[in-house]
Structure 1
Amino acid sequence: MASYGIINNTARFKLLSTLFLAVSLLFGCNDGADTAMPASTSRQVSTVAIHRQAVTLTMELSGRTTPFRIAEIRPRISGLIQRRLFTEGSDVKEGEVLYLIDPAPFQAEYNNALAGLKQAQAQLQSVGSKAERYEKLLEAKTVSQQDYDDAASALNELNARIRSLQASLEVARINLGYTKITAPIPGRIGKSSVTDGAIVTAYQSTALTSIQQLDPIYVDVPQSTTELLRIRNSVGKGQFKSNSQQPEVQLILEDGTLYPHEGTLQFSDVTVDQTTGTVTLRAIFPNPDKTLLPGMFVKAVVQEGVDEQAILVPQQGVSRDHRGDPYALIVDDESKVQLRRLVLDRAIDGDWLVVSGLVPGDRVIVEGLQRLQPGTEVKATPFNPAQGQAATPAPDAQPRKQGAGAE
């Protein structure tokens, strides 16, 4: 029994010795690794240098297309539609005959008025000659004053009748011309509300058809009065310059494609819609291919003005805190990270327009932002957007100014 206890103690001693040796080797390896690592490392980040530049400011407004001109076709005389001379949905020219009203009764009225005028004109020579003779005889005391007055009165009455008949002939001629209903404007004609043989009345409430001129075409977009006042205040304070000429307008169609033709802003309405608090802006666009049809929903990109001292920052360089407030991290002259609170205006392509928070010369971090804290020492390299990664400059390379407005 004693020998068994000695053997057991010996085994325990060997086991403890082995465990102690393993722990010593483990801690020794860790100490060696810590000794091999550098005391501190600088994180690699990519930065974009901030500078001022001229930027054209635009606003995107939704609206609908409106025909340049609309004409509702109605008859000016009553009669029977003899023929319809156009194809529904086709393009018509100004002055083209659309309907033909039966001209027979109006031709008869014209002929009657013409005959009455010629009859009166034939009597004019006889009555006029009689008045002249009586005037000479009156001087010779051969006829009485009453006879001369009657002859002169008959002449005046006939002249008045001739003028009346001339007016009646003109009315008959106009009504005869109205038997041909023509297009007052060029454009695309719609469907007809009547067919051949229909009876129509002068200036009836129901239009026979309508014509819409589509080239050019209007685009009406509402703009809030708040936005209108903001633009005027910005121009008044000199924050950006307004376009003294008619600003150009671009159009985005319902499927998201860009309309190939640019338009111009015509005017801004002077009346505010009380239900929506907006005013209507009207732009005009060429429409040679008739791509734009009345009533289409579109988006108009309207120029507000030009900010000649704008500061833009890439959107990937702007973050937001837990309250949603934007901020950016910059690299200072000591290669340390600093936090800047920003006030943003709008997104322009892939950038944010900065109102305040950044100044020319700031280097904004756009890559390597993960778990980056203010005060951290970093190694900054210029960001190369073409390659999407940092471009390592040569040791003797000088920083390059970007754009015409770089500072």
Structure 2
Amino acid sequence: MTRIHTVERRIHSDRQAVGRTTCRTSTSTFAAPLSYNGRIGCFCVSSKFNSIPYNRSSSMRLFLTFLVLVFIVVILGAGGNAGYRYLEEKKRPSFRTAKVDMGDIEESVNATGNVKPILTVQVGSFVSGPIVKLEVDFNDRVMTGDLLAQIDTRLFLANVRRDEATLTTREAEVKRTEALLRQAQRDEKRAQLIQEENADFISGAEMDQVIANRASLEAQLEIATASVEQASAALKNSEANLGYCDITATHSGIIIDRKIQPGQTLAAQFQTPELFHIAVDLDREVHVLAAIDESDIGAIEKALAEGRPVQFTVDAHRDDLFDGEIYQIRLNATTTQNVVTYPVVVIAANTEMKLLPGMTASLSFQTNEKRDIKRIPNAALRFFPTNTKWVHKDDRKLLDGSMWDDDEADTQISAKQKHTAAIKRKKRHVWIHEGEFLRAVEVELGISDTKYTELISGDLTEDQELVTGLKAKRK
């Protein structure tokens, strides 16, 4: 009993210190929080006076451990879900886009050409001999008739004097023959008068001799006259050769090439040697000779008929843009490795002398032009999806080839079929990003330049985004 009273007193004191205490007597159990060695515990007292300790700190630790495990599981689940979504988002392609807009398009044909003078005159020598004078140099400006060079004239001057003497001899021979002819004609008249008075005074043989002498002298006079003409022609030939010793400019222009040196001997027996090249009107305008492919020559002919401009650049003046116009389409086609080209001549002003003969020009022939039209970027026309997973199921048939026209690849198709195929090639597909997939939009195209193509028809609106390619993924 003493032990029971002691426990009850401790319970009473603990009830005051800690709080409400539950006691059950007789068949009940007394339970109270107690301070035992610094820990809050509980003694349960039964009617049989047995006491059982109960540790609340261990239960709390188990409960906290359970909460931590649950929290870790939740965090891992959320992290795994976020990681899965991140990986899926990383696998999903990101596309570059460009907008449909309104603007101008200038269709053109590009080609390369060479700058040439409008006229290049090759000055040569008709006679042979050593060069004794050289009056001009490279880039000199000359006028028609200016002396360029001179060949040694001594031999040609001697020929002139010889032919002059020959001509004088032939002319004197004519005069002598004329005098003899006049004498023969008078002798013939006397003989005829004497014969009329008395036929026996002059025999028939003597009369025939007089007549023959007169006729012979007439023939000699014709020969002498012809000899004079022959000698005169020889003299003119020698004088002309003497004149050819002076090499003169046949056109006004600029000396762009000189092929002789002072003291050089020319030999013109078999081929006329070239001495100078004169560029005519080089400081006024030039020609640019371009080779145009046969597939583009139709557009160039149309541009010539419509008077469309030509623009070009040269490497020597990269900051300058030169203007010209089509002057001529020449018909002498050139075939090189089965490629047929036609020479097209462009004329351009050259008052500043920036365009020099031989320069390479990069030309653009304007063949068509439209203003303020709906246009799409050419990059959108070049894009083609490489993975069917990106494409909506309704448009995947465009990728598997089920809608392709095999007749266009057949080289044996008729001309009409080729024409139809060319018209069909004006219809293309562009791709738009709709939700998670790409959708194809059929469009009909018109003229184009290097950046844009005219949109004739198609379910596209201004500022609509078109797919142009894949974005590079960051590592």
* TM-score normalised per structure 2: 0.56
Aligned to 1:111, the other structure's residue is in SS state helix
Seen in structure 2, the aligned counterparts of structure 1 residues 187 and 284 have a Cα distance that, compared at 3 Å, is: farther
CA shift in 2, pair 1:223/1:284, >3 Å = closer
Describe the shift of the 1:103–1:67 C-alpha distance in structure 2 as closer, same or farther (beyond 3 A): same
Partner Cα separation in structure 2 for residue 307 and residue 368 of structure 1 = 22
Question: What is the correspondence of 1:3-18 to structure 2 with a 5 Å cutoff?
Answer: 5-6=55-56, 9=59
Structure 1 residue 149, shift from structure 2 partner = 0.7
**Secondary structure of 1:244's aligned partner:** helix
Distance in 1 between the 2:322 and 2:454 partners? 27
Choose which of 206, 217, 220 in structure 2 pairs with 1:151. Answer: 217
Compare CA radii of gyration and give the structure with the larger one: 2
Residue identity matched to 2:442: R
Partner of 2:312: 251
Give the 3 Å change call, closer, same or farther, for CA 289–209 of structure 1 in structure 2: farther
In the alignment, is residue 358 of structure 1 matched against residue 458 of structure 2? yes
CA contact (8 A) 1:65 1:217 kept: yes
Using the alignment, how far apart are the partners of 1:82 and 1:128 within structure 2?
A: 47
Task: Please list, as runs of the form range in 1=range in 2, the aligned pairs for 1:300-311 lying within 5 A after superposition.
Answer: 300-305=363-368
Number of equivalenced pairs: 330
Alpha carbons 1:194, 1:208 under 8 Å: kept: no
In structure 2, how many angstroms separate the alpha carbons of the residues matched to 1:87 and 1:112? Answer: 36
CA positional deviation for 1:164? 0.3
Deviates more, 1:157-166 or 1:303-312: 303-312
Structure 1: gaps spanning 5 or more residues: 24-44, 236-240, 332-336, 372-407
Is the 2:113–2:361 Cα contact (8 Å) retained in structure 1?
yes
User: Is the aligned partner of 1:61 residue 2:111?
Assistant: yes
One of 186, 191, 210 as aligned partner of 2:276: 210
Q: Which residue of 1 aligns with 2:355?
A: 292
Paired residues for 1:73-88 under 5 Å: 73-88=123-138
Over the aligned positions, Cα root-mean-square deviation in angstroms equals: 4.4
Change (3 A) 1:341 1:258: farther
- Residue 109 of structure 1: how far off its partner (Å): 1.6
Give, in angstroms, the shift of residue 346 of structure 1: 6.3
Structural mapping, 1:15-30, within 5 Å: none
1:110 corresponds to which letter in structure 2?
V
Question: How many Å apart are 1:280 and its aligned residue?
Answer: 2.7
* Residue of structure 2 in register with 1:109 after alignment: 159
Which residue identity does 2:305 align to in structure 1? S
Deviation sequence 1:97-143 (CA, Å, 0-9, x none): 22111112212221222233234334434433543453455345267
Matched residue SS, 2:240: helix
Question: Which deviates more, 337-346 or 85-94?
Answer: 337-346
Alpha carbons 1:248, 1:265 under 8 Å: kept: no
Name the amino acid aligned to 1:107. L
Distance in structure 2 (CA, Å) of the matches to 1:247 and 1:271:
23
Secondary structure of residue in 2 paired with 1:364 = coil
Aligned to 1:193: 260
Superposition deviation, residue 223 in structure 1? 2.3
Distance 1:246 1:131, change over 3 A: farther
Taking every aligned residue pair, what percent have the same amino acid on both sides? 15
> Aligned letter for 2:324?
E
3-state SS in 2 of match to 1:190: strand
* 1:126-205 paired onto structure 2 within 5 Å: 126-132=176-182, 134-135=184-185, 137-140=187-190, 141=192, 144-185=210-251, 186-196=253-263, 198-203=264-269
Deviation at 1:192, TM superposition (A): 3.5
Q: Which has the higher contact order (CA 8 A, sep 6+)?
A: 1
Q: Which runs of 5 or more structure 2 residues have no equivalent in the other structure?
A: 1-40, 43-52, 75-96, 194-206, 387-398, 400-427, 470-475
Contact 1:330 1:363 in 2 (8 A): no
- CA separation of 1:48/1:272 partners in 2, compared to 1, >3 Å: closer, same or farther? same
| Structure 2 SS opposite 1:106 | helix
8 Å CA contact 2:313–2:362 kept in 1: the answer is yes
Partner of 2:289: 220
Distance 1:165 1:245, change over 3 A: farther
Q: What are the Cα deviations for residues 65-119 of structure 1, in whole angstroms up to 9, with x where unaligned?
A: 3343344443211222111111234333333222111112212221222233234
Q: Shift of the alpha carbon at 1:305? A: 4.7
Query: How far, CA to CA, are the matches of 1:245 and 1:347 in structure 2?
Result: 19
1:176–1:133 CA distance, 2 compared to 1 (3 A): same
Do the aligned residues in 2 keep the contact of 1:314 with 1:366 (CA within 8 Å)?
no
Residue in structure 2 matching 1:283, options 304, 321, 345: 345
- Tell me if the contact between 2:292 and 2:344 (Cα under 8 Å) persists in the aligned partners: no
Rounded to whole Å, the distance in 2 between the matches of 1:303 and 1:251 is 11
Deviation at residue 180 of structure 1 after TM alignment: 0.5
The aligned residue for residue 449 of structure 2 is: 348
